[in-house]
A and B are shown apart, each in its own frame.
Chain A
C-alpha cells in the first residue's frame, strides 16, 4: 500500500512540475507583461498570408 502512495505522489509531483515549467516559460516569454492589449486582440482581423 505504501509503495502505491509513493508512486502516486511522485506522479503528481511530475505532473505539477510539467505545469510549473509551462508557467516559467510563459513568464519568460512575457505573456503576463501586458494585460491590456490581448483583450482587444480578438477584435482584430486575421492577418492575410504574407505575399
Chain B
C-alpha cells in the first residue's frame, strides 16, 4: 500500500481497512503516536528456531502426503486464521490448510517432495505469527477418532431406526386393526433387515464392552445394554419365524439412544476443553540470552547450564539458576506458597516459574529446562495421573446391581412356566421377554443429559467442569483441602494496621508512604498506594525516589526526606526506630516510616484472606465436609490464615510432592478429596485428588491438571459448583429411577407372557421423555 509517499505494509485486510478509516477521518496522527515497542510479538522471536531435522518427527505421513500440526501463536481474530490459511495455501507443494480459529491450530497437508516443514514455519513467521510444532496428545487424537467413529455409528443407527419406525407403526396399526398375515411377515422381515446392522455394527462397542465386563467380572452398563439389545433381537428373530410379535424397535432404540447419550457426553467434554484453553497462555516460554553479540530471544528449551540470561522486572524466570548480577525481589508464591517477595542478592538461587518483581538481573542457568523445578513437578503430576484409579460411575453401579436381579427373575420365569406345564419354547420366550423389557432405553440418556444441562448451567456462571465424572465425584466429596497463598488468600498483601507515633494522623502517615511508593511495582508498595486511594487521600508528588531491593524506598516529599522500609533499612538511613515496637506476627510485614530523619510510625501489612473464604469453609463444614489447609509456606503463617477462616487442620512447610502424598493417604482412608489450589506446587496434589479445582489466573500447570476451573478466582463459585454437582447427581438418580420404573412395571406382564409390543414401545418413549424433561429442569432452577 502506498500512502503519503511511504510504503506501508499491513498484516491483513482488516488492519488495512482500519488504517483507511483512521486516516480517512484525519486521525493519521495515531500511527505516529502509537508505541511500537509494545505491539505484537517481539521482533525476530522466531529466527529459524526449527530446522527440518527437528521438525521431522512432528510430520505424520498419510497416503503419500505429509501432515503437520502447527500451533500458531498470535491468532487474535477470524481474519488472522483466514490470512494464515490463504498464505500457506499458496506455498508450492501445500495441498490443504485448515486453521482452527478456536484452538489456534493449523493442519497443513503438503507434498513432502515439494515443500519442507521449515519453509511452512518460516512463512508463518514472516506473517508475524509465531509457529510451534504441535503433537496431538495421544489421548486427544484418540478422542477425535472416537468422536468420528461415534458420529458414524450414531448416524447409521439413526437412519436405520427411522426406517424401522415406519414398519413398526404399520405393525402397531395392524395389531389393533388387523393385518394380512403376509403383509405382516413382509414388514417384520424388513424390520429384521434394518435392525441387524444397528445391533451388530452400531452396537458393537457395547457388545465388546459387555464381553470385557464379563471377563473381568465387572458387570456395568454395557452388559445391561448388550443383554437388553441381544435378548430383544433374538426373541424377535425367533418370533418372526415362529409367528409372534416382534420387538426389533426395542433393540434398535436402546442402541440409538445410548449412542446419542455418548455423543452428548463428548460435546460436554469438548466444550469444557475449549473453555479451559482460554485460561492458558499460548506463548512459548522464552528467555533473553546474553551473548557476546548482545541479547537474543531464544526458547527456554534450548538453554544450557552456564548460559547467562537477562530477566526484566515483571518477567518469569524461565529455568532454575542463580543470580549472577543485580539485586531484585522475587515472588516465589507460584513455586513455594511463600506469600511475600524474597530479596535476591548475587549468588542467590532462583526457581523457574517464579516472578521477578523489582529489578532487572542476570541469571546463570544451573539446570536445563528438562530437569528444572517445573519439569520435576510435571513428572510428579504425570505419575499421580497414572496412579489415579478410575471411579466407577453411578450408572455402572446401578447396572451392576440390576443385571443379576433381572437374570434371576428371568430364571424364575423359566422355571415357573415350565412347572406350570408350558412348552419349553414358550417358557424360554417369556424368560427372554423379561430381560428385554427390563433394560430401559433411557438408561443411556439418564446421565449424559443431566450432566450436559448441569455443566451448561455451571459454565454460564463461570465454573468449568472438565468431564461429567467430575460432577459425580464432586457431589461425593468428604474432605476439602485448600492451598493458602492465592487460594484462600488473595496472594497480595493488604494494610491491616496503621500505627503512627502520637501527634501524627494515620491519614498523613499513609499519604507519606503512598507518595514515595507511588512508582513502585512491589506488592507492598501497591498495597499502600491502593489503600491510600481507597481512603480518598490526595496524591502528593515525591522527588528523587530511590529503591533499595530487599530494604525499602527513599524520596523527598514537600522538601522533607522520607524513608519507608524495614527496620534495618531505616537504621541504615540513620533513623532511630524505637526498640519496643511490637514484633509483626507470623505472616505480617511491618513497613516503618521516617520523615526528616525522625521515626513517624509503622504500617502493618498482611496477605489478606479472600472475600468469601470463611463463607466457603463454613459452607463445607455445615455439610459435614472436613476442611484442611495445605501450604508450602511456613507453619505459623499457615496457622494464622487457618484461624481467620476457621480451619483446624493445618499443615505448613510442605513440598509439592508432600501435598500429593498427604492427599493420597487421605484417599486411601476412604475420603473423597477436593483440592483447591493455583500454584505450580499444588499441581501434584490437584492431579492426585479425586477433584482438583484450580482458580483462573493461577499457573498454567495448575489449570491443566485440575478437573474443574473457577473463572475469575472467585471462591464463592466453588460453592456453586458443589451445589450444581449435588443437584445434577440428584437428577441423575431420579432419571435412573424413572427409566427403570416404567420397565419394571413391564416385568410382571412379561413373566406371565402378556407383554405386547405396544406396551414395550410406550415404556420406551415415556421413560426417555421423562428423563430428558427432568434433566432440562436443571437449566431452569436457581443455584445461587
Contact = CB atoms under 8 A, between A and B. Distances in A.
Given A16-B163, A24-B155, A50-B90, 20 more contacts: A5-B183, A6-B186, A9-B190, A13-B163, A23-B155, A27-B148, A27-B151, A27-B152, A30-B98, A33-B144, A36-B101, A36-B274, A37-B81, A37-B98, A37-B102, A40-B78, A40-B81, A40-B82, A40-B101, A45-B13
Contact of B159 (A20, A30, A33, A37): A20
Contacts of A32: 148, 151
A47 B190 contact: no
Contacts of B156: 20, 24
Nearest to B167: A9
Interface string B120-159: 0000000000000000000000001000100110011001
A24 to B, nearest CB: 6
A12 B160 CA distance: 11
Contacts of A36: 100-102, 274
Interface in B156-196: 156, 159, 162-163, 166-167, 180, 182-183, 186, 190, 194
Interface in A1-51: 2, 5-6, 9, 12-13, 16, 19-20, 23-24, 27-28, 30, 32-34, 36-37, 40-41, 43-45, 47, 50
Given A20-B159, A36-B102, A2 B13 contact: no
B86 interface: yes
Interface in B538-576: none
A16 to B, nearest CB: 6
Contacts of A24: 152, 155-156
A41 B101 CA distance: 10
B159 A5 contact: no
What are the 7 closest A-B residue pairs judged by CB atoms, nearest first?
A40-B78, A36-B102, A37-B101, A44-B82, A20-B159, A23-B155, A34-B100
Nearest to B170: A5
A35 to B, nearest CB: 8
A16 B159 contact: yes
A2 B79 contact: no
B590 interface: no
A6 B152 CA distance: 28
A10 B226 CA distance: 29
B178 to A, nearest CB: 15
A20 B153 CA distance: 11
B99 interface: yes
Nearest to A33: B144
Contacts of A47: 86
Contacts of A34: 98, 100, 102
B86 to A, nearest CB: 6
B79 A44 contact: yes
Contacts of A27: 148, 151-152, 155
A43 B17 CA distance: 14
Interface of A: 2, 5-6, 9, 12-13, 16, 19-20, 23-24, 27-28, 30, 32-34, 36-37, 40-41, 43-45, 47, 50
Given A5-B186, A12-B163, A45-B13, A20 B100 contact: no
Contact of A2 (B82, B155, B162, B182): B182
Contacts of B155: 20, 23-24, 27
Most buried by B among A32, A36, A37, A40: A37
A27 B146 CA distance: 12
Contacts of B190: 9
A16 B165 CA distance: 14
Nearest to B180: A2
27 contacts: A2-B180, A2-B182, A5-B183, A5-B186, A6-B186, A9-B167, A13-B194, A16-B159, A16-B162, A19-B159, A20-B155, A20-B159, A24-B152, A27-B148, A27-B151, A28-B148, A32-B148, A34-B98, A36-B100, A37-B99, A37-B100, A37-B102, A40-B78, A40-B101, A41-B82, A43-B78, A47-B86
Contacts of B101: 36-37, 40
Interface string B574-592: 0000000000000000000
B452 to A, nearest CB: 15
Contacts of A23: 155, 159
Nearest to B155: A23
A13 B159 CA distance: 10
Contacts of B99: 37
Nearest to B194: A13
A24 B149 CA distance: 10
Given A16-B163, A36-B100, A37-B101, A2 B148 contact: no
Nearest to A50: B90
Contacts of B79: 44
Contact of B78 (A9, A37, A50): A37
A41 B98 CA distance: 12
B322 to A, nearest CB: 45
A45 B156 CA distance: 37
Interface string B78-94: 11011000100010000
B498 to A, nearest CB: 52
Nearest to A32: B151
Nearest to B182: A2
A16 B303 CA distance: 60
A20 to B, nearest CB: 5
A13 B763 CA distance: 28
Contacts of B100: 34, 36-37
A40 to B, nearest CB: 4
Contacts of B82: 40-41, 44
Contacts of A44: 78-79, 82
Contacts of A30: 98
A23 B100 CA distance: 22
Nearest to B13: A45
Contacts of A9: 167, 190
Contacts of A28: 148
A15 to B, nearest CB: 10
Contacts of B180: 2
A48 B729 CA distance: 55
Interface in B60-95: 78-79, 81-82, 86, 90
A33 B101 CA distance: 12
Nearest to B190: A9
Contacts of B152: 24, 27
A23 B86 CA distance: 28
Contacts of A37: 78, 81, 98-102
A45 B79 CA distance: 10
A42 B206 CA distance: 40
Interface in B181-220: 182-183, 186, 190, 194
Contacts of A20: 155-156, 159
A4 B101 CA distance: 52
Interface in B730-748: none
A44 to B, nearest CB: 5
A9 B168 CA distance: 13
B78 A2 contact: no
B163 A2 contact: no
Contacts of A41: 82
Given A34-B98, A44-B82, A2 B186 contact: yes
B183 A2 contact: yes
A27 B151 CA distance: 8
Nearest to A38: B101
Nearest to A23: B155
Contacts of A12: 163, 166
